[in-house]
Amino acid sequence: MSLLAVTDLRVEFGRRRTAVLDGVSFTLEPGQRLGLVGASGSGKTVLASAIMGLLPDNARVAGTIVFEDHELTTLPERAFAALRGRDLTMVFQEPMTALDPTMRVGRQAAELIGLHRDTSTGATRARVEQIFARMGLDQASRVADAYPHELSGGQRQRVIIAMALLNSPALVICDEPTTALDATVQARVLDLLNEELAAVNAACLFISHDLGLVSGICTDVAVLYRGQIVETGQAGAVLRAPRHPYTQGLLATADIDAVPAGERLPVIEDFLPADECGVT
């Protein structure tokens, strides 16, 4: 049995008849890191929210999401709350919404352990400082005593990633976890994330626009296009020899250096059949 098995997942919102996710299926094994790439609006965050049980009330869900031995689409919220933050964690696309501005970050992290584990205060604090230090936060004790607004964007994002790893989860979902960071900080944070995931053999669903970024961290890649997975495979193979026109387009537009001076950068539509671009 896989750690996570998503089967024929379909999500619609409100009265809209078009599905935002339309028959999405994939599995994840322990230690596997799947990069999920796709354009803005392709359904990446909706998929992450569906797995985390965080879709709004107006969402209609069909299909199954089996995590460990739980069927998540029908799991009662009480049971879900025991999984979230422990076995199943998420690094959100917007870091500020993930932290409580009125509470010191060390206490927020400690509460996360307290919710899911029986640990004495001293041991809890030590664990928080340990994971902060492992995420490359210098002076972990001072960081733990800070409020979110007293930290830099890079420090905040490291705190959030540390919190997602705190309880040695089986699966971590990262939704564009480093978009807000500059390139050098981004590379360092991803290295640390990689190391920590490997240390606990956690699986990861890593969402990004950036195929290059994904290839550095993921074992496998799935390409989401208009709510459907159009291509999936080992990261190296997909990058070397993309089969779907959309993936070819993504790669070509990502490789700006490959465009000869004076020539126009290709756009996704260049790689799609005419009927898909509204050209008649």
Ligand X SMILES: Nc1ncnc2c1ncn2[C@@H]1O[C@H](COP(=O)(O)OP(=O)(O)OP(=O)(O)O)[C@@H](O)[C@H]1O
Enumerate binding residues for ligand X (CB under 6 A): 13, 20, 38, 40-46, 56, 93
Output 59 or 272, the one with its CB closest to ligand X. Answer: 59
Report in angstroms how near the CB of residue 154 gets to ligand X at its nearest.
21
Output 93 or 119, the one with its CB closest to ligand X. Answer: 93
Q: What gap in Å lies between CA 99 and CA 103, rounded to an integer? A: 8
Output 44 or 86, the one with its CB closest to Mg ion. Answer: 44
Residue 43 contacts which entry, ligand X, Mg ion, none (Cβ below 5-8 A, type-dependent): ligand X
Q: 84: which DSSP letter?
A: B
Report in angstroms how near the CB of residue 189 gets to ligand X at its nearest.
19
Output 52 or 131, the one with its CB closest to ligand X. Answer: 52
Output 38 or 177, the one with its CB closest to ligand X. Answer: 38
Site string for Mg ion, 17-56 (x = CB under 5 A): ---------------------------xx-----------
Closest C-alpha to 217, from 237, 232, 198, 245:
198
Residue 178 contacts which entry, Mg ion, ligand X, none (Cβ below 5-8 A, type-dependent): none
Report in angstroms how near the CB of residue 151 gets to ligand X at its nearest.
24
Asked if 230 and 224 count as a contact pair (C-beta separation under 8 A), the reply is: yes
Asked if 194 and 218 count as a contact pair (C-beta separation under 8 A), the reply is: no
Report in angstroms how near the CB of residue 175 gets to Mg ion at its nearest.
6
Residue 46 contacts which entry, Mg ion, ligand X, none (Cβ below 5-8 A, type-dependent): ligand X
Report in angstroms how near the CB of residue 93 gets to ligand X at its nearest.
6
Q: What gap in Å lies between CA 141 and CA 214, rounded to an integer? A: 32
Q: What gap in Å lies between CA 171 and CA 162, rounded to an integer? A: 14
Q: Which of residues 67-86 bind Mg ion (CB under 5 A)?
A: none
Output 44 or 156, the one with its CB closest to ligand X. Answer: 44
CB-based contacts of 44-48 (< 8 A; 24+ apart in sequence): 44/175, 44/207, 44/224, 45/93, 45/175, 45/207, 46/11, 46/20, 46/21, 47/6, 47/9, 47/11, 47/21, 47/224, 48/90, 48/173, 48/175, 48/205, 48/207
Cβ–Cβ contacts within 10 Å for residue 43, how many?
24
Residue 147 contacts which entry, Mg ion, ligand X, none (Cβ below 5-8 A, type-dependent): none
Report in angstroms how near the CB of residue 210 gets to Mg ion at its nearest.
13
Q: What gap in Å lies between CA 1 and CA 76, rounded to an integer? A: 22
Residues that bind Mg ion (CB under 5 A): 44-45
